Amino acid sequence: MLDEIRQQPQALERTLTHQTRGIAGFRAFLAKRRPRLVVIVARGTSDNAAQFGRYLIEIMTGIPVSLAAPSVHSIYGASVDYKDALVVGISQSGESSDISAVLTQAHKSGAMTVGITNEPGSTLANLAQHVFLVKAGREKSVAATKTYTGQLMSLYLLAHALGARIRIEDLQAIPEAVHSTLSLEFGILEIAGNYRDMRQAAVVARGLNYANAFEFALKMMETSYVVAERFSAADFLHGPIAMVDHNLPIFVFGPSGPAWASLHETLEKVQAMRAKTVIITDRSNREAAGLAEAVIRVPARLKELYTPIPYIIPAQLFAAALAHAKGLDADKPRGLHKVTTNL
Amino acid sequence: MLDEIRQQPQALERTLTHQTRGIAGFRAFLAKRRPRLVVIVARGTSDNAAQFGRYLIEIMTGIPVSLAAPSVHSIYGASVDYKDALVVGISQSGESSDISAVLTQAHKSGAMTVGITNEPGSTLANLAQHVFLVKAGREKSVAATKTYTGQLMSLYLLAHALGARIRIEDLQAIPEAVHSTLSLEFGILEIAGNYRDMRQAAVVARGLNYANAFEFALKMMETSYVVAERFSAADFLHGPIAMVDHNLPIFVFGPSGPAWASLHETLEKVQAMRAKTVIITDRSNREAAGLAEAVIRVPARLKELYTPIPYIIPAQLFAAALAHAKGLDADKPRGLHKVTTNL
């Protein structure tokens, strides 16, 4: 897992270089055939990437986005009207039958289809009309890391193709930001050691980093068996905040930008409830230190739009370090296999 | 909270009687102006009801549904193209400014708007073109119960208006099913006592009852400070199952019907991992007893389509009983207020 976390700058560069070829053509095609709706279908880590795509595409293109519930198709056999929609399947292996079934049905009902996958020969890649190939190299660890960031990168390119004002040059700066964030590894190892006995946690974020809350929580569940909740800062105040005490550490993604005011308010509230808080942020040490027990300071200064990939890196490192501190093998979570084909 | 749980048969009857008037006209109107997309906007408990609406409307009408992310509008100021969509706001108080903002913008961009609320004089009720009024009477407990089931009932009527094959007569049988389920109170009190020391839990469901997993988890967080996760059975096997052990009780909504096979598989897997499991089901005692430590057997025999309202009743009773067993006051969760207006 640690090896794969460290491979991400190169993996992202390869993915970006590969996907940039031909993107202008796809953008021109979509400009003439703008979808009325984007539907994203995925499971597990890929579904967390989908959550990011949901925010990114709506914010940057104004096209409504729906995260599909695969069960609607697979167990209820419903036939949803996806005419003039763009239906996007995300699957690392490309072999999730649930997802392929939705794409097949969508195509029949008149949708365009896109696949985001690591595997060029997979069912999903063969099925989709346009494929974004994640060039992450083979992912051996059950806990997906480089696949997730590769999927996020693909979603930036998809949003670009849908007309979003996302510049390829800005995306090209992301691998370097990931590289500089990897330098936090030793500091994070130390912080994680302090959470060795943690059995439950909540991860809070908002907006474009909300997906990262899901992903960080999932990594802690998979590698360290921490019962980790994930919330949007807004929903958190609607009930779940009642359970906060010093036994429930809170992890917050807190980049500068539009979501900061809301996250700052959450941080103040949980401080007052005596929670142990860890914040991943680019805010100054002086400002952040008063709000949290531990501050993981991301070195890169980025527009909030480009923070989600670099910001998940400390979380991945933390999950791997926590498993190590707990004496667990992050690469072999109990009861899990790499590919879940059939649900 | 217990009083309000017990009021639900009457509250549901009032809501249904009130909303049935005029529903034929709204159905006829929508038949001529079928939306291309349904968008549901909500927070907290109402967002759990929205999750139910998401499955119900897609399964029963084939119209794609999106659960809106209010942040897209409120903190990013995005202008999403909701032309020819039906945008549904759900808010108990009708005073959530996030939700009103989305409806206002949606109406400007050419959407029809619907409000589901308890308060006829609220901002939401005044804003929406069509209002489904939840006649639950005043809800004093911070933990919403009768409001949630009233919202679910309203969503059945909305789906009916959108052309779904949902018969008003079948809905009229639901209050009686709720009434018979309330008779489980003493048995549930006893089971809840055995979970007095529970600090974390996971709730698993699939399909139409998936929303109930969110709602049960939220009730346990609010009233008993249990760190309660919620998963679809399919996603659960994609990672989170790794954290299951005898310290993480699993609660499963297991009605007969299309979702049963998948839930049965999950139950067998968590049994093998030595989890303590509680199942809410209509399966025979003989069949269910081998799969769980405790079986809460719902007396009513219903088509799966009509199970979500009766099935949340044992969960509400359990959350109230658990708070009591823990010596907490379910009506006064720390750090919460009844109305969250501004996010």
d(CA B114, CA A8): 46
Closest CA relative to residue B75, chosen from A230, A32, A263: A263
- Indicate which of A39, A40, A71, A271 best probes the interface with B, i.e. most B CBs within 10 Å of its own CB: A71
Residues within 8 A of B (CB atoms), A 161-190 only: none
Q: Give the pLDDT band (50/70/90) at residue B19.
A: very high
CB-defined contacts A:B, below 8 A: 200
**Structure token digits, residue A288:** 């952040």
The reply to whether residue A71 touches residue B232, judged by beta carbons under 8 angstroms, is yes
Q: How many CB atoms lie within 10 A of CB B317?
A: 27
d(CA B153, CA B290): 33
Mean pLDDT, consecutive 10-residue segments, chain A of 343 residues? 96 97 96 97 94 98 96 92 96 93 93 97 97 94 94 98 97 97 96 95 96 96 92 83 86 95 92 91 85 92 96 98 92 69 46
Q: Kindly state whether B221 is in contact with chain A, defined as any CB-CB distance less than 8 angstroms.
A: yes
Q: Kindly state whether A246 is in contact with chain B, defined as any CB-CB distance less than 8 angstroms.
A: no
The reply to whether residue B64 touches residue A262, judged by beta carbons under 8 angstroms, is no
Q: Kindly state whether A31 is in contact with chain B, defined as any CB-CB distance less than 8 angstroms.
A: no
When CB atoms are compared, the residue of B207, B226, B340 closest to A237 is B340
Residues within 8 A of A (CB atoms), B 276-335 only: 333-335
Residues within 8 A of A (CB atoms), B 194-213 only: 199-200, 202, 206-207, 210
d(CA B336, CA B145): 16
Between the ranges A41-45, B237-241, B303-307, where is the mean pLDDT highest? B303-307
When CB atoms are compared, the residue of A222, A235, A262 closest to B242 is A222
CA distances from B40 to A53, B1, B158, B314 (A): 18, 27, 12, 26
Q: What is the pLDDT of residue A242?
A: 81
- Indicate which of A60, A75, A246 best probes the interface with B, i.e. most B CBs within 10 Å of its own CB: A75
Contacts of B335 in chain A (CB under 8 A): 241-242, 244, 269, 273
Buried b (16+ CB within 10 A) or exposed e, A105-141: bbbeeebbbbbbbbbeebbbbebbebbbbbbbeebeb
**Structure token digits, residue A112:** 């365009």
The reply to whether residue A262 touches residue B206, judged by beta carbons under 8 angstroms, is no
Q: Kindly state whether B247 is in contact with chain A, defined as any CB-CB distance less than 8 angstroms.
A: yes
The reply to whether residue B64 touches residue A65, judged by beta carbons under 8 angstroms, is no
- AA identity, residue B4: E
Q: What is the pLDDT of residue B342?
A: 44
Question: pLDDT tens-digit profile of B33-83?
Answer: 999 999 999 998 999 999 999 999 999 999 999 999 989 998 999 999 999
Which positions ≥6 away from A149 have C-beta within 8 Å? A8, A11, A12, A178, A309, A312, A313
Q: Kindly state whether B111 is in contact with chain A, defined as any CB-CB distance less than 8 angstroms.
A: no
d(CA A153, CA A160): 11
Question: pLDDT tens-digit profile of B188-217?
Answer: 999 999 999 999 999 999 999 999 999 999
**Cα-atom radius of gyration of chain A, to the nearest Å?**
19
| Alpha helices by DSSP H, B273-307 | 285-289
Give the DSSP H/E element, type plus range, for residue A278.
strand A277-281
pLDDT at B244 over 90: no
The reply to whether residue A222 touches residue B210, judged by beta carbons under 8 angstroms, is no
Closest CA relative to residue A15, chosen from A144, A120, A141, A140: A120
A219 to chain B: closest CA residue? B239
Q: Out of A64-68, A173-177, B94-98, B288-292, which region has the weakest mean confidence (pLDDT)?
A: B288-292
**Helix, strand or coil, per DSSP, at residue A76:** coil
Q: Kindly state whether A58 is in contact with chain B, defined as any CB-CB distance less than 8 angstroms.
A: yes
What integer is the mean pLDDT of B311-328? 96
Closest CA relative to residue A138, chosen from A338, A341, A340, A342: A338
The reply to whether residue A70 touches residue B234, judged by beta carbons under 8 angstroms, is yes
Q: What is the pLDDT of residue B341?
A: 52
**Mean pLDDT in chain B?**
93
- Indicate which of A72, A263, A268, A340 best probes the interface with B, i.e. most B CBs within 10 Å of its own CB: A72
Q: What is the pLDDT of residue B338?
A: 63
B233 to chain A: closest CA residue? A343
The reply to whether residue B243 touches residue A232, judged by beta carbons under 8 angstroms, is no
Q: Is the pTM of this model over 0.90?
A: yes
- Indicate which of A92, A226, A227, A230 best probes the interface with B, i.e. most B CBs within 10 Å of its own CB: A227
Contacts of A244 in chain B (CB under 8 A): 335
Which positions ≥6 away from A277 have C-beta within 8 Å? A249, A250, A251, A252, A267, A270, A271, A291, A292, A293, A294
Q: What is the pLDDT of residue B228?
A: 94
Contacts of B273 in chain A (CB under 8 A): 334-335
d(CA B233, CA B266): 6
pLDDT at B343 over 50: no
What is the total residue count of chain B? 343
**Structure token digits, residue B76:** 């990013």
